[in-house]
A and B are shown apart, each in its own frame.
Chain A
Amino acid sequence: GAVVSQHPSRVICKSGTSVKIECRSLDFQATTMFWYRQFPKQSLMLMATSNEGSKATYEQGVEKDKFLINHASLTLSTLTVTSAHPEDSSFYICSARRGAARGNTEAFFGQGTRLTVV
């Protein structure tokens, strides 16, 4: 089956530094990937849609200059949390859907990255 790999699974960084999270589709090409954020005991909140070869589409309230997304190839999207602060500590998950943009294929998720900013 399709697999989405996310790295790192856990990262601790100092306040003010930047952290890069990678999301790869291992056995299919993903022109679109999605980045979610999940707070403890809450559901997944879509942050942005990553589009291969073009700018990401950010959801309302998500700072695009803080959460930089790059989708340079059909199998890799990266999320960089810039100038991280403790309130950015969260669980970040990426996903990708295989197939045409008809919305009728399952979405595969990466393993998630737990970011802790100290």
Chain B
Amino acid sequence: EDKVVQSPLSLVVHEGDTVTLNCSYEVTNFRSLLWYKQEKKAPTFLFMLTSSGIEKKSGRLSSILDKKELSSILNITATQTGDSAIYLCAVSGLQGAQKLVFGQGTRLTINP
């Protein structure tokens, strides 16, 4: 059974700090790994990673995939209170290439 584990489950930092969120997975015939940000309603897409070692960057957020270690990290630099959210990691595997299996999420709180 495909499995996604995120850590930490909860993280509280001060504005301006840099944070690193982790995602590890066990999946048959890996296809892709996706990061989402969820505030009050539905998740919004951040990144999709399919190749190992290639960093994807969007403003203060960046992410990279390590297929050897079966993991990914999401970095947020110079955090702002608006970054407070639940960050979800999901993977696609062999069991239904379009199906996403989600991790538990990391609840990030940025204090002013």
Task: Tell me the A residues contacting B by CB distance below 8 Å.
Answer: 6, 9, 32, 34, 36, 41-46, 49, 57, 93, 95, 97, 101-112
Given contacts A44-B43, A106-B48, could you give 12 more A-B pairs where the C-beta distance is less than 8 Å? A32-B98, A41-B107, A44-B88, A46-B102, A49-B96, A49-B98, A49-B99, A97-B98, A107-B98, A109-B36, A110-B42, A112-B42
Query: Least Cβ distance of A67 to chain B in Å?
Result: 17
Q: Nearest B residue to A38 by beta-carbon distance?
A: B38
A107 pairs with B100, CB closer than 8 A: yes
- The interface of chain B, by Cβ under 8 A from chain A, is 31-32, 34, 36, 41-45, 48, 50, 88, 90, 92-93, 96-105, 107
> Please, could you name 7 A-B residue pairs with CB atoms under 8 Å apart, sorted by A?
A6-B42, A34-B100, A43-B102, A101-B98, A104-B32, A109-B43, A112-B42
Taking the closest CB of chain A, its distance from the CB of B19, in whole angstroms, is 19
Which residue among A34, A36, A46, A107 has the maximum number of chain B CB atoms within 10 Å of its CB?
A: A107
Contacting residue for A43 out of B50, B97, B104, CB 8 A: B104
Let me know if B103 and A95 touch, CB within 8 A: no
A42 and B106 CA atoms in complex are apart in Å by 10
- Do A104 and B92 touch (CB < 8 A)? yes
Q: Which residues of B contact A95 (CB under 8 A)?
A: 100
CA A13 to CA B2, docked complex, whole Å? 35
For B90, the chain A residues whose CB sits under 8 A away are 44, 107
Q: Are A104 and B42 in contact (CB under 8 A)?
A: no
| Bound form: Cα–Cα A42–B16 in Å | 27
**Contact at B32–A103, with CB atoms within 8 Å?**
yes
